[in-house]
Structure 1
């Protein structure tokens, strides 16, 4: 797979692994261990900070704080969706499934597909699936299309399977839609991802109705928000990655504007 993965994607994954949980906290612990002989007080402070960081990054409280700041859009009314010419669904990964002897959409992709099916059936608006193969192998759009047909008996009208990034999703999907004379779409992606995806599609000259899904929510009493869990750490990881991505693109745009 390494011979087909995008070098840019591989580099971003490597940098993200260093800056995101759990490795960011573990690296602080390693630094504290190295400092213990030279700066014992500093090493103890750094150890405490690392343990606190790892704990907070595994709590539902922090997951909801970080993702809540990203989830800026509410769900659309069906009457608005009906005015669209297409419902565009962005891919969110795939995974090998030995039980099916094939790749299947990842959990986020499945969630997006399910919501898109609900909107399409309620509105009659056709689907466009967008997702390439940034980590190599089969394009995400093809994997989603197969699941869509097998699970829901629906065939998407358009497939875009060459994109590696959200910007590619927007550019290549817009090209397909222009050929069909469509300029108004409903965009389905994760609630935390919508604020970044929406302007990229609008930059392509499309009128975009946001249709977010996968909101970060927890049941139970408030005290449970401070109990660590693997799910919470995953959601913190995803939110921090999104915030880092925003910072990266802002810096890149600033550097580009200064040239």
Structure 2
């Protein structure tokens, strides 16, 4: 397949690049360095602000704080999934894996698939995977279905491969589900993603039970939570991207405040 990026995804990525780490703190540092000779006060303020942002967005304490408002759903319970009709797993990226000679799920996707497999074995519910080719190449849905079948020994009943965004995940998945009379689903994704994703599925007329995984948590505490770490910087990036996504879709009237409402409960 030709690796052709979706124009919509390209616009989102270019827009996000200037509002998310690392450019979020690199640009003030660069601007400050350029202003030091002509306007020392402004230059030093920008330098200091950029350095503080770089530090703050690379520590576990900030990652947990930014994620706290997103992770609004608790883990799903057996009494909830017993009343569902299907499990829907959202794609979260793929990557080339030369050791396997094919594409494999990215870390976020793999975490979702593992939890979906755990739920499927206990609930005996059929699985739907959803993910297209926003960056080109093999659809994420195809990679996800292969992983569930080959690595977990689980059949996948529906494979959605057209979507390039979470909004389209919901739209195209709902079409497949409704054809088979499915109206109540378990929705699997990271805890920080479900606040934005769930309203899109309810807007399609589905009753949704959130099944969050990958909560942003750290062992220990104290000083360890204030030491910079690559994982923390990545999780800060993910949380900020979700907050931007929520503001973007609310501004366009596509969330209608539903992201702040509790999910349907049995």
Question: What TM-score comes out, normalization by structure 1 length?
Answer: 0.95
Aligned equivalent of 2:102: 102
Q: Does 1:13 pair with 2:43?
A: no
User: Partners in 2 of 1:149 and 1:241 — Cα distance?
Assistant: 31
Aligned equivalent of 1:215: 215
User: Partners in 2 of 1:37 and 1:250 — Cα distance?
Assistant: 42
What SS does the corresponding residue of 2:104 show, helix, strand or coil? Answer: strand
Task: Please show how residues 11-160 of structure 1 align to structure 2 within 5 Å.
Answer: 11-160=11-160
Aligned equivalent of 2:257: none
Query: 1:63, 1:236 within 8 Å by CA — same for their partners in 2?
Result: yes
User: Partners in 1 of 2:109 and 2:100 — Cα distance?
Assistant: 17
Aligned equivalent of 1:241: 241
User: Partners in 2 of 1:205 and 1:249 — Cα distance?
Assistant: 18
User: Partners in 2 of 1:221 and 1:125 — Cα distance?
Assistant: 38
Give the drift of 1:161: 0.5
Query: 1:113, 1:148 within 8 Å by CA — same for their partners in 2?
Result: yes
Give the drift of 1:3: 6.0
User: Partners in 1 of 2:204 and 2:165 — Cα distance?
Assistant: 15
User: Partners in 1 of 2:182 and 2:248 — Cα distance?
Assistant: 32
Query: 1:82, 1:124 within 8 Å by CA — same for their partners in 2?
Result: no
Query: 1:89, 1:188 within 8 Å by CA — same for their partners in 2?
Result: yes
Q: Which is further off, 245-254 or 48-57?
A: 245-254
Structure 2 gaps, min length 5? 255-266
Give the drift of 1:169: 0.6
Superposed CA offset, 1:93-124 (max 9, x none): 00000000000000010100010011110011
Aligned equivalent of 1:167: 167
Query: 1:131, 1:139 within 8 Å by CA — same for their partners in 2?
Result: yes
User: Partners in 2 of 1:247 and 1:80 — Cα distance?
Assistant: 30
Q: Does 1:197 pair with 2:211?
A: no
User: Partners in 2 of 1:226 and 1:206 — Cα distance?
Assistant: 42
Query: 1:167, 1:200 within 8 Å by CA — same for their partners in 2?
Result: yes
Give the drift of 1:79: 2.3
Superposed CA offset, 1:129-188 (max 9, x none): 011110000100000111111111111011101001111111111100110011010000
Query: 2:63, 2:239 within 8 Å by CA — same for their partners in 1?
Result: yes
Q: Once superposed, which parts of structure 1, at least 4 consecutive aligned residues long, lie more than 4 Å away?
A: none
Query: 2:196, 2:245 within 8 Å by CA — same for their partners in 1?
Result: no
What SS does the corresponding residue of 1:177 show, helix, strand or coil? Answer: helix
Question: What TM-score comes out, normalization by structure 2 length?
Answer: 0.93
Superposed CA offset, 1:21-76 (max 9, x none): 11111111111122112211111111111111100110000000001111000011
Give the drift of 1:125: 0.5
Aligned equivalent of 1:257: none
Q: How many residues of Structure 1 are paired with residues of Structure 2 in the alignment?
A: 254
User: Partners in 2 of 1:3 and 1:109 — Cα distance?
Assistant: 20
Structure 1 gaps, min length 5? 255-259
